[in-house]
Protein backbone atom coordinates (compact mmCIF):
# COMPACT_ATOMS: atom_id res chain seq x y z
CA UNK A 1 0.00 0.00 0.00
CA UNK A 2 1.45 3.41 -0.96
CA UNK A 3 2.43 5.72 1.86
CA UNK A 4 0.33 8.87 2.26
CA UNK A 5 1.88 12.00 0.79
CA UNK A 6 3.60 14.15 3.39
CA UNK A 7 2.85 17.85 3.63
CA UNK A 8 4.79 20.95 4.58
CA UNK A 9 3.25 20.67 8.03
CA UNK A 10 4.72 17.16 8.38
CA UNK A 11 8.17 18.39 7.36
CA UNK A 12 7.97 21.36 9.72
CA UNK A 13 7.01 19.12 12.64
CA UNK A 14 9.77 16.61 11.92
CA UNK A 15 12.45 19.30 11.71
CA UNK A 16 11.05 21.56 14.46
CA UNK A 17 10.72 24.59 12.22
CA UNK A 18 7.75 26.65 11.04
CA UNK A 19 5.70 25.87 7.95
CA UNK A 20 6.75 29.24 6.54
CA UNK A 21 10.40 28.24 6.93
CA UNK A 22 9.75 24.98 5.07
CA UNK A 23 7.94 26.84 2.28
CA UNK A 24 10.78 29.34 1.87
CA UNK A 25 13.46 26.66 2.09
CA UNK A 26 11.82 24.59 -0.64
CA UNK A 27 11.65 27.75 -2.76
CA UNK A 28 15.41 28.22 -2.13
CA UNK A 29 14.70 31.59 -0.57
CA UNK A 30 17.98 33.25 0.54
CA UNK A 31 16.27 34.58 3.69
CA UNK A 32 16.64 31.04 5.06
CA UNK A 33 20.14 29.90 5.98
CA UNK A 34 21.86 27.54 3.57
CA UNK A 35 22.09 24.89 6.31
CA UNK A 36 18.34 24.98 6.98
CA UNK A 37 17.51 25.03 3.27
CA UNK A 38 19.64 21.98 2.66
CA UNK A 39 18.18 20.13 5.65
CA UNK A 40 14.59 20.82 4.53
CA UNK A 41 15.26 19.99 0.88
CA UNK A 42 17.02 16.73 1.70
CA UNK A 43 14.23 15.65 4.06
CA UNK A 44 11.61 16.47 1.43
CA UNK A 45 13.50 14.47 -1.20
CA UNK A 46 14.02 11.47 1.09
CA UNK A 47 10.31 11.34 1.91
CA UNK A 48 9.13 11.88 -1.67
CA UNK A 49 7.47 15.19 -0.91
CA UNK A 50 5.56 16.50 -3.93
CA UNK A 51 4.86 20.23 -3.90
CA UNK A 52 1.39 21.44 -4.75
CA UNK A 53 1.46 22.46 -8.41
CA UNK A 54 -0.18 25.76 -7.54
CA UNK A 55 2.40 26.51 -4.92
CA UNK A 56 5.09 25.72 -7.46
CA UNK A 57 3.58 28.04 -10.02
CA UNK A 58 3.40 30.87 -7.51
CA UNK A 59 7.20 30.78 -7.20
CA UNK A 60 7.59 31.90 -10.82
CA UNK A 61 7.48 35.58 -11.63
CA UNK A 62 4.73 35.26 -14.26
CA UNK A 63 2.38 33.79 -11.69
CA UNK A 64 3.09 36.16 -8.85
CA UNK A 65 0.46 38.62 -10.11
CA UNK A 66 -2.10 35.80 -9.90
CA UNK A 67 -2.07 35.45 -6.14
CA UNK A 68 -5.74 36.29 -6.47
CA UNK A 69 -8.70 34.43 -4.97
CA UNK A 70 -12.04 34.39 -6.76
CA UNK A 71 -15.07 34.78 -4.49
CA UNK A 72 -18.65 34.12 -5.67
CA UNK A 73 -21.59 35.26 -3.55
CA UNK A 74 -25.32 35.34 -4.34
CA UNK A 75 -25.62 39.01 -3.36
CA UNK A 76 -23.01 41.33 -1.93
CA UNK A 77 -25.68 43.65 -0.47
CA UNK A 78 -26.75 40.91 1.93
CA UNK A 79 -25.15 41.68 5.30
CA UNK A 80 -24.04 38.09 5.90
CA UNK A 81 -22.30 37.72 2.54
CA UNK A 82 -20.63 41.11 2.88
CA UNK A 83 -19.18 40.12 6.27
CA UNK A 84 -17.92 36.81 4.86
CA UNK A 85 -16.21 38.70 2.04
CA UNK A 86 -14.65 41.01 4.63
CA UNK A 87 -13.30 38.01 6.55
CA UNK A 88 -11.90 36.47 3.36
CA UNK A 89 -10.24 39.74 2.40
CA UNK A 90 -8.67 40.19 5.84
CA UNK A 91 -7.07 36.74 5.85
CA UNK A 92 -6.05 36.99 2.20
CA UNK A 93 -4.38 40.38 2.74
CA UNK A 94 -2.50 39.07 5.78
CA UNK A 95 -1.03 36.32 3.63
CA UNK A 96 -0.21 38.39 0.57
CA UNK A 97 -3.25 37.68 -1.61
CA UNK A 98 -5.96 39.77 -3.23
CA UNK A 99 -9.56 38.84 -3.98
CA UNK A 100 -12.02 39.35 -6.83
CA UNK A 101 -15.69 39.26 -5.83
CA UNK A 102 -18.49 38.40 -8.25
CA UNK A 103 -22.24 38.11 -7.67
CA UNK A 104 -24.30 35.28 -9.11
CA UNK A 105 -27.52 37.22 -8.39
CA UNK A 106 -29.01 33.84 -7.40
CA UNK A 107 -28.80 32.77 -11.07
CA UNK A 108 -27.30 29.43 -12.13
CA UNK A 109 -26.27 30.69 -15.59
CA UNK A 110 -24.45 33.67 -14.11
CA UNK A 111 -22.66 31.41 -11.62
CA UNK A 112 -21.44 29.17 -14.47
CA UNK A 113 -20.11 32.18 -16.41
CA UNK A 114 -18.23 33.46 -13.36
CA UNK A 115 -16.63 30.07 -12.68
CA UNK A 116 -15.46 29.75 -16.30
CA UNK A 117 -14.12 33.29 -16.20
CA UNK A 118 -12.16 32.56 -13.04
CA UNK A 119 -10.64 29.45 -14.65
CA UNK A 120 -9.60 31.41 -17.76
CA UNK A 121 -8.13 34.15 -15.59
CA UNK A 122 -5.86 31.59 -13.91
CA UNK A 123 -6.78 32.65 -10.39
CA UNK A 124 -5.25 30.57 -7.62
CA UNK A 125 -8.53 29.28 -6.17
CA UNK A 126 -12.25 29.90 -5.70
CA UNK A 127 -14.47 30.39 -2.64
CA UNK A 128 -18.20 30.17 -3.34
CA UNK A 129 -21.68 30.16 -1.83
CA UNK A 130 -23.89 28.65 -4.50
CA UNK A 131 -26.91 30.31 -6.09
CA UNK A 132 -30.37 29.41 -4.87
CA UNK A 133 -31.43 27.79 -8.14
CA UNK A 134 -28.24 25.81 -8.85
CA UNK A 135 -29.13 22.19 -9.63
CA UNK A 136 -26.15 21.11 -11.75
CA UNK A 137 -22.54 21.18 -10.63
CA UNK A 138 -20.31 20.62 -13.66
CA UNK A 139 -18.94 24.17 -13.40
CA UNK A 140 -17.64 23.46 -9.90
CA UNK A 141 -16.12 20.19 -11.04
CA UNK A 142 -14.35 22.05 -13.88
CA UNK A 143 -12.68 24.26 -11.28
CA UNK A 144 -11.34 21.22 -9.43
CA UNK A 145 -10.32 19.49 -12.68
CA UNK A 146 -8.13 22.51 -13.39
CA UNK A 147 -6.27 21.87 -10.12
CA UNK A 148 -7.80 24.92 -8.46
CA UNK A 149 -8.72 24.66 -4.78
CA UNK A 150 -12.46 25.08 -4.27
CA UNK A 151 -14.02 25.97 -0.91
CA UNK A 152 -17.75 26.31 -0.30
CA UNK A 153 -19.22 28.38 2.50
CA UNK A 154 -22.74 28.60 3.91
CA UNK A 155 -24.56 27.16 0.89
CA UNK A 156 -22.56 24.04 0.18
CA UNK A 157 -22.87 21.77 -2.84
CA UNK A 158 -23.49 18.21 -1.66
CA UNK A 159 -22.88 16.92 -5.19
CA UNK A 160 -19.21 17.98 -5.11
CA UNK A 161 -16.68 16.56 -2.66
CA UNK A 162 -14.96 19.83 -1.84
CA UNK A 163 -13.89 21.65 1.30
CA UNK A 164 -16.50 23.71 3.10
CA UNK A 165 -17.07 26.09 6.01
CA UNK A 166 -20.56 26.26 7.46
CA UNK A 167 -22.53 27.46 10.43
CA UNK A 168 -24.09 24.76 12.58
CA UNK A 169 -27.46 25.48 10.99
CA UNK A 170 -29.24 22.62 12.75
CA UNK A 171 -28.05 23.74 16.19
CA UNK A 172 -28.90 27.37 15.45
CA UNK A 173 -32.46 26.60 14.36
CA UNK A 174 -32.99 24.22 17.26
CA UNK A 175 -31.75 26.82 19.75
CA UNK A 176 -33.93 29.59 18.31
CA UNK A 177 -37.09 27.48 18.15
CA UNK A 178 -36.48 26.02 21.59
CA UNK A 179 -36.12 29.53 23.05
CA UNK A 180 -39.39 30.66 21.48
CA UNK A 181 -41.17 27.68 23.00
CA UNK A 182 -39.56 28.09 26.42
CA UNK A 183 -40.70 31.72 26.52
CA UNK A 184 -44.32 30.66 26.17
CA UNK A 185 -44.98 30.47 22.42
CA UNK A 186 -47.47 27.74 21.50
CA UNK A 187 -47.51 27.85 17.71
CA UNK A 188 -44.15 28.60 16.08
CA UNK A 189 -44.03 29.18 12.32
CA UNK A 190 -40.98 28.55 10.12
CA UNK A 191 -40.23 31.05 7.35
CA UNK A 192 -37.73 29.27 5.12
CA UNK A 193 -36.43 29.07 1.58
CA UNK A 194 -35.96 26.52 -1.20
CA UNK A 195 -35.51 23.00 0.18
CA UNK A 196 -32.87 22.47 -2.52
CA UNK A 197 -30.45 24.30 -0.24
CA UNK A 198 -28.71 22.19 2.39
CA UNK A 199 -28.79 25.01 4.94
CA UNK A 200 -32.59 25.15 4.68
CA UNK A 201 -32.89 21.41 5.20
CA UNK A 202 -30.65 21.60 8.28
CA UNK A 203 -32.52 24.56 9.78
CA UNK A 204 -35.84 22.88 9.08
CA UNK A 205 -34.65 19.75 10.90
CA UNK A 206 -33.52 21.82 13.88
CA UNK A 207 -36.89 23.58 13.97
CA UNK A 208 -38.81 20.29 13.80
CA UNK A 209 -36.72 18.58 16.47
CA UNK A 210 -37.20 21.48 18.88
CA UNK A 211 -40.97 21.13 18.44
CA UNK A 212 -40.79 17.39 19.00
CA UNK A 213 -38.69 17.82 22.13
CA UNK A 214 -41.59 19.77 23.60
CA UNK A 215 -44.16 17.22 22.36
CA UNK A 216 -45.53 19.71 19.84
CA UNK A 217 -46.82 18.60 16.44
CA UNK A 218 -45.02 19.62 13.24
CA UNK A 219 -47.80 21.39 11.35
CA UNK A 220 -47.19 21.94 7.63
CA UNK A 221 -49.57 24.92 7.84
CA UNK A 222 -46.88 26.64 9.90
CA UNK A 223 -44.09 26.10 7.36
CA UNK A 224 -43.71 28.70 4.60
CA UNK A 225 -41.33 29.42 1.74
CA UNK A 226 -40.73 33.02 2.66
CA UNK A 227 -37.13 34.27 2.59
CA UNK A 228 -37.29 38.03 1.98
CA UNK A 229 -38.86 41.13 3.47
CA UNK A 230 -41.05 41.56 0.40
CA UNK A 231 -42.44 38.02 0.59
CA UNK A 232 -43.04 38.36 4.32
CA UNK A 233 -45.04 41.56 3.91
CA UNK A 234 -47.09 39.88 1.16
CA UNK A 235 -47.78 36.63 3.02
CA UNK A 236 -48.16 37.61 6.67
CA UNK A 237 -51.58 39.32 6.45
CA UNK A 238 -53.17 36.11 5.15
CA UNK A 239 -51.27 33.94 7.63
CA UNK A 240 -52.32 36.11 10.59
CA UNK A 241 -55.95 36.10 9.45
CA UNK A 242 -56.23 32.37 10.10
CA UNK A 243 -58.20 31.17 13.10
CA UNK A 244 -55.25 29.17 14.39
CA UNK A 245 -52.59 31.80 13.67
CA UNK A 246 -48.92 31.54 14.73
CA UNK A 247 -47.83 33.36 17.86
CA UNK A 248 -44.15 33.18 16.89
CA UNK A 249 -42.01 33.19 13.74
CA UNK A 250 -38.54 31.70 13.29
CA UNK A 251 -37.15 33.24 10.09
CA UNK A 252 -34.35 32.01 7.82
CA UNK A 253 -32.72 35.47 7.83
CA UNK A 254 -33.05 38.90 9.43
CA UNK A 255 -34.47 40.47 6.28
CA UNK A 256 -37.47 38.13 6.45
CA UNK A 257 -37.83 38.68 10.19
CA UNK A 258 -37.98 42.45 9.70
CA UNK A 259 -40.66 41.97 7.04
CA UNK A 260 -42.69 39.82 9.45
CA UNK A 261 -42.30 42.46 12.15
CA UNK A 262 -43.52 45.31 9.97
CA UNK A 263 -46.48 43.29 8.72
CA UNK A 264 -47.73 42.16 12.14
CA UNK A 265 -47.32 45.66 13.58
CA UNK A 266 -49.43 47.10 10.77
CA UNK A 267 -52.08 44.53 11.62
CA UNK A 268 -52.20 45.87 15.18
CA UNK A 269 -50.34 43.10 17.02
CA UNK A 270 -47.86 43.90 19.76
CA UNK A 271 -44.32 42.49 19.68
CA UNK A 272 -43.47 40.38 21.64
CA UNK A 273 -46.70 40.27 23.70
CA UNK A 274 -48.82 38.95 20.82
CA UNK A 275 -46.17 37.71 18.41
CA UNK A 276 -42.51 36.76 18.99
CA UNK A 277 -39.99 36.92 16.14
CA UNK A 278 -36.48 35.50 15.75
CA UNK A 279 -34.17 36.02 12.77
CA UNK A 280 -30.91 34.47 11.60
CA UNK A 281 -27.91 36.68 10.75
CA UNK A 282 -27.40 39.35 13.43
CA UNK A 283 -26.77 42.09 10.90
CA UNK A 284 -27.36 45.81 10.98
CA UNK A 285 -31.09 45.36 10.32
CA UNK A 286 -31.40 43.59 13.67
CA UNK A 287 -30.41 46.80 15.44
CA UNK A 288 -32.21 49.26 13.18
CA UNK A 289 -35.76 48.16 13.98
CA UNK A 290 -38.11 48.74 16.90
CA UNK A 291 -38.02 46.64 18.93
CA UNK A 292 -34.54 45.37 18.12
CA UNK A 293 -34.49 41.86 16.71
CA UNK A 294 -33.70 38.63 18.55
CA UNK A 295 -31.56 36.62 16.13
CA UNK A 296 -28.90 33.95 15.66
CA UNK A 297 -25.41 35.41 15.17
CA UNK A 298 -24.09 33.92 11.91
CA UNK A 299 -20.46 35.04 12.46
CA UNK A 300 -19.68 35.85 8.84
CA UNK A 301 -16.21 37.29 9.51
CA UNK A 302 -15.06 34.03 11.08
CA UNK A 303 -16.54 31.98 8.25
CA UNK A 304 -14.66 34.11 5.72
CA UNK A 305 -11.36 33.81 7.54
CA UNK A 306 -11.71 30.04 7.86
CA UNK A 307 -12.57 29.66 4.17
CA UNK A 308 -9.58 31.78 3.10
CA UNK A 309 -7.24 29.88 5.42
CA UNK A 310 -8.30 26.52 4.00
CA UNK A 311 -7.90 27.71 0.43
CA UNK A 312 -4.54 29.45 0.85
CA UNK A 313 -3.12 26.47 2.76
CA UNK A 314 -3.96 24.34 -0.28
CA UNK A 315 -2.50 26.87 -2.71
CA UNK A 316 0.76 26.95 -0.77
CA UNK A 317 0.98 23.20 -0.31
CA UNK A 318 0.58 23.36 3.47
CA UNK A 319 -2.29 20.90 3.11
CA UNK A 320 -2.83 18.54 0.14
CA UNK A 321 -4.99 19.81 -2.68
CA UNK A 322 -7.19 16.72 -2.56
CA UNK A 323 -7.85 16.77 1.19
CA UNK A 324 -11.45 17.75 1.96
CA UNK A 325 -11.56 20.13 4.92
CA UNK A 326 -14.84 20.55 6.80
CA UNK A 327 -15.14 23.36 9.34
CA UNK A 328 -18.26 24.06 11.39
CA UNK A 329 -18.61 27.46 13.07
CA UNK A 330 -20.98 27.54 16.04
CA UNK A 331 -23.65 30.22 16.13
CA UNK A 332 -25.26 31.73 19.20
CA UNK A 333 -28.59 33.31 20.12
CA UNK A 334 -28.67 37.08 20.65
CA UNK A 335 -31.80 37.94 22.65
CA UNK A 336 -33.33 41.37 22.12
CA UNK A 337 -36.80 42.90 22.15
CA UNK A 338 -38.79 40.80 19.66
CA UNK A 339 -39.01 37.84 22.02
CA UNK A 340 -40.23 37.47 25.59
CA UNK A 341 -37.88 36.96 28.50
CA UNK A 342 -36.99 33.40 29.41
CA UNK A 343 -39.38 31.97 32.00
pLDDT given at position 53: 45
Contacts of 158 (CB under 8 A, 6+ apart): 198
In angstroms, the first-to-last Cα distance of the chain is 60
Helix (H, G, I), strand (E, B) or coil at 263: helix
Angle, vertex CA 232, rays to CA 227 and CA 233, nearest 5: 150
Task: List, as one string, the DSSP characters of 143-159.
Answer: HHHTT--EEEESS--TT
Distance CA 198, CA 158 (A): 8
Dist CA 55 CA 53 (whole Å): 5
Report how many helices (DSSP H) and strands (DSSP E) the chain contains, helices first: 14, 12
Residues 6+ apart with CB under 8 A from 5: 48, 49, 50, 320
At 52 the pLDDT is: 54
Q: What is the pLDDT of residue 59?
A: 44
**Of 4, 3, 32, nearest to 41 (Cα)?**
32
Taking the model in full, what pTM does it have? 0.77
Adjacent-strand bridge partners of 164 = 152, 326
CA-angle at 342, arms to 340 and 343, nearest 5°: 110
Q: What is the pLDDT of residue 9?
A: 82
How confident is the model at residue 24, as a pLDDT? 81
Pairing mode, if any, of strands 294-297 and 332-334?
A: antiparallel
Per-residue pLDDT of the chain (343 residues; tens, 9 = 90+): 445 567 788 888 999 998 888 888 887 778 889 899 899 888 888 887 755 544 555 444 444 437 999 999 999 888 899 999 999 999 999 999 999 999 999 999 999 999 999 988 889 999 999 998 888 899 999 999 888 999 999 998 888 999 999 999 999 999 999 999 999 999 999 999 988 888 999 999 999 999 999 999 999 999 999 999 999 999 999 999 999 999 999 999 999 999 999 999 999 999 999 999 999 999 899 999 999 999 999 999 999 999 999 999 999 988 988 899 999 999 999 999 999 987 5
| Predicted local distance difference test score (pLDDT) of residue 343 | 58
> Cβ distance 23 to 318 under 8 Å?
yes
With residue 206 as reference, give the H or E element that holds it: helix 198-213
pLDDT on residue 65 = 38
Amino acid sequence: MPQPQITMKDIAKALSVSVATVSRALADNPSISEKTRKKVQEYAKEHNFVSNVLAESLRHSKARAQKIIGVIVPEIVHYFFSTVVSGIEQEAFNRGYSIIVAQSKEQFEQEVKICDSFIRSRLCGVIVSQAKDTREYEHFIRIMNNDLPLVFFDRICTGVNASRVVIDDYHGAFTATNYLIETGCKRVAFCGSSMQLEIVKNRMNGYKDALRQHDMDVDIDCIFECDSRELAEQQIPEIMSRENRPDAFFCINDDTAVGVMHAVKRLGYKIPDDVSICGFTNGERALACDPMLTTMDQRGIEIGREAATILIDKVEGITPLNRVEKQVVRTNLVVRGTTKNSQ
